[in-house]
Chains A and B, each alone.
Chain A
Amino acid sequence: MANTEIVKGTSLWKDAWQRLLKNKLAVFGLIVLALMVVAVIVGPSIIYWINGFTADGIPQDGDLIKSFPPSLQHPMGTDEAGRDLLARVLQGGRISLMVGIISTLVSLVIGVSYGAIAGYLGGRIDNLMMRLVDIIYSIPYILLVVVLLSVFGGQNTPEWIQSLSAAFGGAGNQGLNQIFLLFFALGLISWLTMARVVRGQILSLKNQEFVLAARATGVSTLGIIFRHLVPNALGPVIVYATLTIPSVMLSEAFLSFLGLGVQAPYASWGSLAADGVKNIGIFPWQMIFPGVTMALTLFSLNFVGDGLRDALDPQTRKF
């Protein structure tokens, strides 16, 4: 009995996976997310192949430049410029999901290292680092976004962001550069809470025996932090990251609502919904389809996040 358990040393993750699969809502969320990712990746090409519609293709025929209700040809209807809404929603999904994932990754990298270092070092350094977090937290992030986008927009976009957007097929495309800037701007504002969560975890872990043992055997500080502490705090981090994705997507939607988000002709679910909501009483499909797609995705992400939390870390109960 004891032997078999030792052999299955890595089964923590397998266990968690099994537990996750038992959570029906989480499974539902996973399926929806998987379908959504596939649809978003291949969808636009399929639509183009079938009907010739693209996300930014305004019809040549002037009579078609208006908003049509859903039909067989346009399952989600069209927007005011006569563009197929399904194509736009799928294209927008790419950006919304990328916003979620890239910004969360940025916040993950910064937040985890910052929080872990602060939590482990403790004392004055911790105090100073956390006060810095408080300070940044108090700076209006809309101001930050405006300044980032205007200072680094246009010709001044840093090289590495340009090469990144070039990797996504937007070489020299300032619109896409700006979207990538937005990813980082959102990442830069959402690492703060991550840092707090990680620090909290590290604070409660660092006095435990295994850390003392590691310290006693002469493991370096960074080694202790990143090899011993962070992996042990990974559960909450993953859970929190899953929940950061929807919140970042909502932040992007909010910025789009203020007109500071994704720039045309690109669109995100947030900007589509923000545009559509203005016509809610007249072309309701313009709001309903992007809105429902976005809500469904956020829904699933939240379900998966919940499921992961239950599976990985049954003790914590944060959010």
Chain B
Amino acid sequence: MTRIRFIQFRSILAIAVLSSFLISCSTQASSKYFGQTKVPSDNILRYTTGSEPESLDPQFVTGQPEARIMMAIYDGLVEYHPKTMEAMPAIAESWELNQDGTEYIFHLRKNAKFSNGDPITAKDFVYTFRRGLSPELASRNANLAYYIKYSEAYNSDRSFVKNADGTFVRKADLEEKKDAAPQTTTIAPHDTVGTDTEFHKYLDEPERLSVPSDAKERAKLTDKDAKLKAAIEGKELVPVKAEDIGVEAIDDYTFRIKLYQPAPFFLGLLAHQFFRAVHQGTIEKFGKDWVKPANIVTSGPFKVVTHKPYDELTVTRDPNYWDAANVHLDGIEFYPLDEQTTMLNLYKAGRIDATYNHTIPAPWNETVRQFKDEYSLHPEAAVEYYSLSVKKPPMDKINVRKALALAIDRDALAKFRKTIKPLVDFTPEGIFPKYEEARRKVYTEELAKIGSNLDEWKARKFDPEKARKLMTEAGFPVQQSGSGYSCPSFPVDVVNLTYNTAESNQKVAEFVQAQWKQNLGITVPLKNMEFKTFLPFRSAVEYTGAVRNGWVGDYMDPFTFLNLFYSPQNDGATGWWDPKYDKLLDDANKETDEMKRYEILARAEFYVMQQQIVIPLGTSGTSWVKKPYIKGMYPNPGTLHPWKFVYIERDQNKWNVAMDDIMTTEDPQVEAQIKALTATQVEAQKAKTTPQPETQEKTKTAKAE
């Protein structure tokens, strides 16, 4: 007996010793850097970008992990600015936009080459765009290009309707004649470059009607719309072909894109991997296997060497790349990793040099934050929010929605989650400074109309008193009970707070649940779902109550967020739709003056926030680490790094730049590189005498001079 006790005691002792050892090693932060910090002997960056990439096909892949890899191996017309993510010249050395903002002309550089040495011409971009939009590829990103003329019609397999006389039925033919524009619309003057092709003229005609090519789908539409039925009855259907899309190679080095309506953010969108150049010959020769390392032909600063799925993807500098002289790294090793802890362990052990955003688990933030030359926490173009099922009781009552939103202490939530900033609006804070300026102005006006002011608006971060009042007004009286509150009439048995399985989602949900319990006396049950089960559940608004949601901006414009509530099939997952809101957004995009456009967008945001169809929780923060010797990598709003700016600094004296100041600290090498790259576009602008509608890019470079 005694011996057994002794053994038990010994094993307990061993655990105690081990744990005290763990505590002691975790609390010491005496060293200047986090874990092992040794400059690698080779000039290769070891990076983790998250999960295994689905493919190396830029038109096919969708995720953020893939985006960073695609940026290394493919180049597009434009590239992201390493700090601001605005568009800057890449294969296009300059571009111009016509007066009404619907036509872009890109001038390509003549020395751009694929990794096999073939030149990259405007024809390659025509191929790339057409390929991305082809229904056979079935890319999930195709809708990014839907602003381009007839791209949606081609991608969704629609047909034009041909009259007997050879002309085509136009969209306007179906609209009410009284306010329809006359058929002979005067076409806005174009900055014509080269000769207009026949094809180009067709694109400038009034928009043609297109109907689904599939008879069943078409019948669905014509059954509902007698007018449409009459318009297409007995007429020839001409399928929309790839050639009908509004992209065109005017000559080998001039590329034109035509849009339906102005989309001021479109230029920024073109840096997306979906628009990066691919090599037609390779794809046609190898079919699905073209992305295998042995076959793949790429267009970016790096080319693929090996790809061992779930293990590593190595890329090396491509000597054929047009800007190869300014690519500083010899190569990059991408490690596909899924677990945050694993990434942090590898980083701490000095086996990776940098991680991507959201890789520091919340509890680790305080510890890692001490290493200020390594840890980045900057606002992101991403928001977290809860969608509410506004069509189902009790969430159909606006006061219930407002009360629930007011009863969450967002400052405490931000403090608890460490990486988010409190948010009461829908667009992220600190990402679009100009928009925020416009928004302040609009909000002040609008709030004055309803006898309120900006301070009161900001107080919506947390106002339990008002929350209780609103909840009571909504017919669910909140009573004092003991030290807390109770709200017995609130139907907690029908509502849920649903989220998909992830530790951070769970923690936030538990926090919010506790807040509602404390401040309103309502215990909303939590419901956790496996991701793929969760997605259809959320998007079909099958839930009742609230559901976890989040959005990462596709491009640097508030529209990417506000667009979430646009159209009846919107992605807000609330069941809410309002044509008034749609109209505001349409108006905004027709506006070419930047500030005026922002003001209209702000009105739209105010409108939707008044409805409180969602509960904003916070603006996401970047939360990642890089070793101090890695330079040229910036915490931009999307954590997307143009890799040619990244380099390894061997001089230890130049290592220490606090990440908090990194956006304002000028790195001479990076600044010079940016300046050299943007020079072509700046000069092209100067050469032009006609004033252009300003894009963010241009004002910025103008200011710099």
- Asked if A and B form a direct contact in the complex, defined as CB atoms under 8 angstroms apart, the reply is yes
The reply on B340 being an interface residue by CB < 8 A is yes
User: Chain B's nearest CB lies how many Å from the CB of A182?
Assistant: 12
The reply on B251 being an interface residue by CB < 8 A is no
Across-interface contacts of A231 in B (CB, < 8 A)? none
Asked whether, in the complex, the Cβ of A281 is within 8 Å of the Cβ of B25, the reply is: yes
Asked whether, in the complex, the Cβ of B509 is within 8 Å of the Cβ of A264, the reply is: yes
Choose from A65, A174, A259 the contact partner of B527 (Cβ within 8 Å). A174
Asked whether, in the complex, the Cβ of B364 is within 8 Å of the Cβ of A282, the reply is: yes
Asked whether, in the complex, the Cβ of A65 is within 8 Å of the Cβ of B415, the reply is: yes
The reply on A18 being an interface residue by CB < 8 A is no
Q: Knowing A172-B493, A174-B525 touch, does A282 contact B26 (C-beta < 8 A)?
A: yes
- B478-517 contacts to A, CB under 8 A, are 493, 496, 501-503, 506-507, 509-511, 513-514
CA distance A275 to B361 in the complex (A): 11
Asked whether, in the complex, the Cβ of A80 is within 8 Å of the Cβ of B363, the reply is: yes
User: Chain B's nearest CB lies how many Å from the CB of A133?
Assistant: 27
Asked whether, in the complex, the Cβ of A281 is within 8 Å of the Cβ of B527, the reply is: no
CA distance A277 to B341 in the complex (A): 9
Q: Mark B521-532, 1 if CB is under 8 A from A, else 0.
A: 000011111100
Across-interface contacts of A283 in B (CB, < 8 A)? 363
Across-interface contacts of B496 in A (CB, < 8 A)? 174
Q: Mark A263-307, 1 if CB is under 8 A from B, else 0.
A: 111000000000101111111110010001000000000000000
Asked whether, in the complex, the Cβ of B501 is within 8 Å of the Cβ of A260, the reply is: yes
Q: Knowing A28-B4, A80-B507, A288-B15 touch, does A280 contact B22 (C-beta < 8 A)?
A: yes
The reply on B533 being an interface residue by CB < 8 A is yes
Nearest opposing residue in chain B for A83, CB measure: B510
Nearest opposing residue in chain B for A65, CB measure: B416
User: Chain B's nearest CB lies how many Å from the CB of A52?
Assistant: 10
Asked whether, in the complex, the Cβ of A279 is within 8 Å of the Cβ of B518, the reply is: no
Asked whether, in the complex, the Cβ of B364 is within 8 Å of the Cβ of A24, the reply is: no
Q: Knowing A65-B412, A80-B363 touch, does A154 contact B530 (C-beta < 8 A)?
A: no
Asked whether, in the complex, the Cβ of B361 is within 8 Å of the Cβ of A279, the reply is: yes
CA distance A263 to B412 in the complex (A): 24
Across-interface contacts of A73 in B (CB, < 8 A)? none
Asked whether, in the complex, the Cβ of A150 is within 8 Å of the Cβ of B367, the reply is: no
- Judged by DSSP, the binding face of A is loop
The reply on A56 being an interface residue by CB < 8 A is yes
Choose from A80, A149, A175 the contact partner of B362 (Cβ within 8 Å). A80
CA distance A175 to B498 in the complex (A): 11
Asked whether, in the complex, the Cβ of B4 is within 8 Å of the Cβ of A25, the reply is: yes
Q: Knowing A281-B22, A283-B363, A292-B15 touch, does A263 contact B530 (C-beta < 8 A)?
A: no
The reply on B164 being an interface residue by CB < 8 A is no
Nearest opposing residue in chain B for A277, CB measure: B341
The reply on B1 being an interface residue by CB < 8 A is yes
The reply on A58 being an interface residue by CB < 8 A is yes
How many interface residues does A have (CB within 8 Å)? Answer: 41
The reply on B187 being an interface residue by CB < 8 A is no
The reply on A57 being an interface residue by CB < 8 A is yes
Q: Knowing A62-B409, A80-B507, A288-B19 touch, does A281 contact B530 (C-beta < 8 A)?
A: no
Q: Mark B344-374, 1 if CB is under 8 A from A, else 0.
A: 0000000000000000011110010000000
The reply on B459 being an interface residue by CB < 8 A is no
The reply on A315 being an interface residue by CB < 8 A is no
Asked whether, in the complex, the Cβ of B22 is within 8 Å of the Cβ of A264, the reply is: no
Asked whether, in the complex, the Cβ of A62 is within 8 Å of the Cβ of B411, the reply is: yes
- B17-31 contacts to A, CB under 8 A, are 19, 22-23, 25-26
Asked whether, in the complex, the Cβ of B507 is within 8 Å of the Cβ of A81, the reply is: yes
User: Chain A's nearest CB lies how many Å from the CB of B436?
Assistant: 27
CA distance A24 to B527 in the complex (A): 45
CA distance A174 to B497 in the complex (A): 11
Across-interface contacts of B506 in A (CB, < 8 A)? 264
User: Chain B's nearest CB lies how many Å from the CB of A79?
Assistant: 9
Across-interface contacts of A62 in B (CB, < 8 A)? 409, 411-412, 415-416
Across-interface contacts of A81 in B (CB, < 8 A)? 416, 507, 510-511, 514
Asked whether, in the complex, the Cβ of A146 is within 8 Å of the Cβ of B503, the reply is: no
Asked whether, in the complex, the Cβ of A279 is within 8 Å of the Cβ of B533, the reply is: no
Asked whether, in the complex, the Cβ of B530 is within 8 Å of the Cβ of A264, the reply is: no
CA distance A66 to B507 in the complex (A): 12
CA distance A265 to B493 in the complex (A): 16
Nearest opposing residue in chain B for A176, CB measure: B525
Q: Mark A46-74, 1 if CB is under 8 A from B, else 0.
A: 00000000001110101001110100000
Q: Knowing A65-B416, A278-B340 touch, does A265 contact B529 (C-beta < 8 A)?
A: no
CA distance A56 to B518 in the complex (A): 12
User: Chain A's nearest CB lies how many Å from the CB of B416?
Assistant: 5
User: Chain B's nearest CB lies how many Å from the CB of A274?
Assistant: 9
The reply on A173 being an interface residue by CB < 8 A is yes
Asked whether, in the complex, the Cβ of A175 is within 8 Å of the Cβ of B502, the reply is: no
User: Chain A's nearest CB lies how many Å from the CB of B41?
Assistant: 28
Asked whether, in the complex, the Cβ of B527 is within 8 Å of the Cβ of A154, the reply is: yes
Asked whether, in the complex, the Cβ of B525 is within 8 Å of the Cβ of A173, the reply is: yes
Choose from A25, A56, A264, A278 the contact partner of B361 (Cβ within 8 Å). A278
Asked whether, in the complex, the Cβ of A282 is within 8 Å of the Cβ of B363, the reply is: yes
CA distance A279 to B26 in the complex (A): 10
CA distance A172 to B528 in the complex (A): 16
Q: Knowing A260-B501, A263-B528 touch, does A24 contact B1 (C-beta < 8 A)?
A: yes
Asked whether, in the complex, the Cβ of B501 is within 8 Å of the Cβ of A58, the reply is: no
Asked whether, in the complex, the Cβ of A149 is within 8 Å of the Cβ of B514, the reply is: no
Q: Knowing A28-B4, A65-B416, A292-B15 touch, does A58 contact B511 (C-beta < 8 A)?
A: yes
User: Chain A's nearest CB lies how many Å from the CB of B518?
Assistant: 6
User: Chain B's nearest CB lies how many Å from the CB of A271?
Assistant: 10
Across-interface contacts of B514 in A (CB, < 8 A)? 56-58, 81
Across-interface contacts of B510 in A (CB, < 8 A)? 56, 58, 81, 264-265
CA distance A57 to B513 in the complex (A): 10
Choose from A58, A80, A150, A264 the contact partner of B526 (Cβ within 8 Å). A264
CA distance A58 to B411 in the complex (A): 15
Across-interface contacts of B509 in A (CB, < 8 A)? 264
User: Chain B's nearest CB lies how many Å from the CB of A57?
Assistant: 7
User: Chain B's nearest CB lies how many Å from the CB of A185?
Assistant: 13
Q: Mark B660-693, 1 if CB is under 8 A from A, else 0.
A: 0000000000000000000000000000000000
CA distance A292 to B8 in the complex (A): 13
Q: Mark A174-209, 1 if CB is under 8 A from B, else 0.
A: 110010000000000000000000000000000000
Q: Knowing A56-B510, A80-B362, A279-B361 touch, does A150 contact B23 (C-beta < 8 A)?
A: no
CA distance A154 to B363 in the complex (A): 31
User: Chain B's nearest CB lies how many Å from the CB of A24?
Assistant: 6
CA distance A65 to B340 in the complex (A): 22
Asked whether, in the complex, the Cβ of B530 is within 8 Å of the Cβ of A150, the reply is: yes
Known: A58-B514, A265-B513. 11 other contacts (CB 8 A): A62-B409, A62-B412, A65-B412, A81-B416, A81-B510, A81-B511, A146-B533, A149-B533, A154-B527, A175-B526, A282-B26
**Chain A interfacial positions (CB closer than 8 Å to B):** 24-25, 28, 56-58, 60, 62, 65-67, 69, 80-81, 146, 149-150, 153-154, 172-175, 178, 259-260, 263-265, 275, 277-285, 288, 292
Supply 7 A–B pairs (Cβ within 8 Å), ascending by A.
A174-B525, A259-B503, A260-B501, A278-B341, A278-B503, A282-B364, A288-B19
Please give me the 4 A-B residue pairs with the lowest Cβ-Cβ distance, nearest first: A58-B514, A259-B501, A62-B412, A263-B528
**Chain B interfacial positions (CB closer than 8 Å to A):** 1, 4, 8, 15, 19, 22-23, 25-26, 340-341, 361-364, 367, 409, 411-412, 415-416, 493, 496, 501-503, 506-507, 509-511, 513-514, 518, 525-530, 533
